[in-house]
Amino acid sequence: MRLKNVGTGWLMTMREMRRSRIALILFFVIPTVFYAVIFLITTHRPIAFALASVARETVVTVSQRNEALVFIGLAAGGVLTSFLALHLTQKHAEVNRRLILCGYRTTELLASKFLALLTMIALIGCYVGAITPLFFRPQRFVLVLLGFMMAGYVYGAYGLLVGAIFRRELEGILFIVLLANLDIGWLQNPIYYAEAQNKAIIRHLPAYFPSQLSMVSAFSDYSVLQPLLGSLAYGTALLAAALFLYSRRMRLWK
């Protein structure tokens, strides 16, 4: 892999994103609207739930609003980066193929897109981090933020994978909606999770580790090493699958 080409690809991708002004604005408006809606519709009524990734059964009682704010921060980070990743792999597919014909390597192209994605995850994460204290102060703020970014990492890799599998936008969007709505938009919410009959399924979904990282950090002092490592492993596995399929799809026969 030629790092110079990765750098050029990253730079061009970032310039393209910078020029999609409305989309760029929405990346920052959507988390704000999510937070505002939660702020307006929830109360500080106490709710109790078990922290799933903590070794012994640990129940915390927290404000409903604070729990919902952490959950919606995760959902915003995950869903936004997933759609962005899908867009990066599907848009300009023919031009990217032409670049590969001209000498770019698929690994260089995908690495540059993934770097651009990481940049956006960091920017969105920092922004969400900046507005979170306006609504509430989690116990370990930096780790909560890291959980949001891990949601972006895992779901960004998932978006790349979906983009590597499906050539058409509609199928890709539906596939993301299918999993994101179920997982990061519903089942990982501790309120549902705690009462679920089959928790094994929920534990194997992509947002499990990032949501545990944020929830445990927001409302307790327990170690979050396992959810952090789990998030990294899950995201990296999805990324490796995306790279494999993208390389196969874009490969030249000679």
Partner 1 sequence: MNHPPSQQHPEILLEVRNVRKAFGRRQVLQDVSFQLSRGQIVGITGENGAGKTTLLRIIVGLLAPDGGTVRGGARTGYCPQELAVFETLTVRENFSFFAAAYGLDSKGLGKSWAEAMNELCRRFRFASYQDALVSTLSGGTKQKLNFSLSVLHDPGLLILDEPYSGFDWETYLQFWEYAAERKSQGLSVLVVSHFVYDRSKFDGILELREGYLRCA
Residue closer to partner 1 (CB basis): 97 or 203? 97
Structure tokens at 116: 């651009």
**Contact between 101 and partner 1 per CB under 8 A:** yes
Of 8, 32, 42, 247, which one interacts with partner 1 (CB under 8 A)?
A: 8
Helix %, strand %, coil % for the chain, to 5? 80, 5, 20
Distance, in Å, from the CA atom of 91 to the CA atom of 94, rounded to the nearest integer, reads: 8
Single out the residue of 22, 55, 95, 170 in contact with partner 1 (rule: CB under 8 A): 95
DSSP per-residue string spanning 177-202: HHHHHHIIIIITSHHHHHH-S-HHHH
- Asked whether position 169 contacts partner 1 by CB under 8 A, the answer is no
Shortest CB 152 distance to partner 1, Å: 23
Tracing tokens 């094994």 back to the chain, one arrives at 200
Q: How far is the CB of 89 from partner 1 (least distance, A)?
A: 15
Is residue 127 within 8 Å of residue 31, measured between CB atoms?
Answer: yes
| CA 178 to chain centroid | 15
Q: Residue 252, interface with partner 1 (CB under 8 A)?
A: yes
**Segment near partner 1 (CB under 8 A), from 30-38, 62-70, 199-207, 246-254?**
246-254
Q: Is 21 in the site for partner 1 (CB under 8 A)?
A: no
Applying CB under 8 A, the span of 50-58, 89-97, 181-189, 227-235 interacting with partner 1 comes to: 89-97
Number of residues that bind partner 1 (CB under 8 A): 23
Give the one residue of 14, 39, 63, 97 binding partner 1; rule: CB under 8 A. Answer: 97
What are the residues facing 48 on neighbouring strands?
61
**Closer residue to partner 1 in complex, CB, 45/251:** 251
CB 216 within 8 A of CB 139: no
- Tokens encoding 49: 């739930």
Q: Which residues pair with 49 in a beta bridge?
A: 60
Q: How far is the CB of 46 from partner 1 (least distance, A)?
A: 49
Residue selected from 34, 35, 49, 104 as contacting partner 1 according to rule CB under 8 A: 104
Minimal CA–CA distance to 47: which of 37, 62, 35, 57?
62
Tell me if 196 sits within 8 A of 187, measured CB to CB. yes
Q: Does 138 bind partner 1 (CB under 8 A)?
A: no
Binder to partner 1 among 25, 36, 59, 98 (CB under 8 A)? Answer: 98
List residues near partner 1 by CB under 8 A. Answer: 4-5, 8-9, 12, 15-16, 19-20, 92, 94-95, 97-104, 252-254
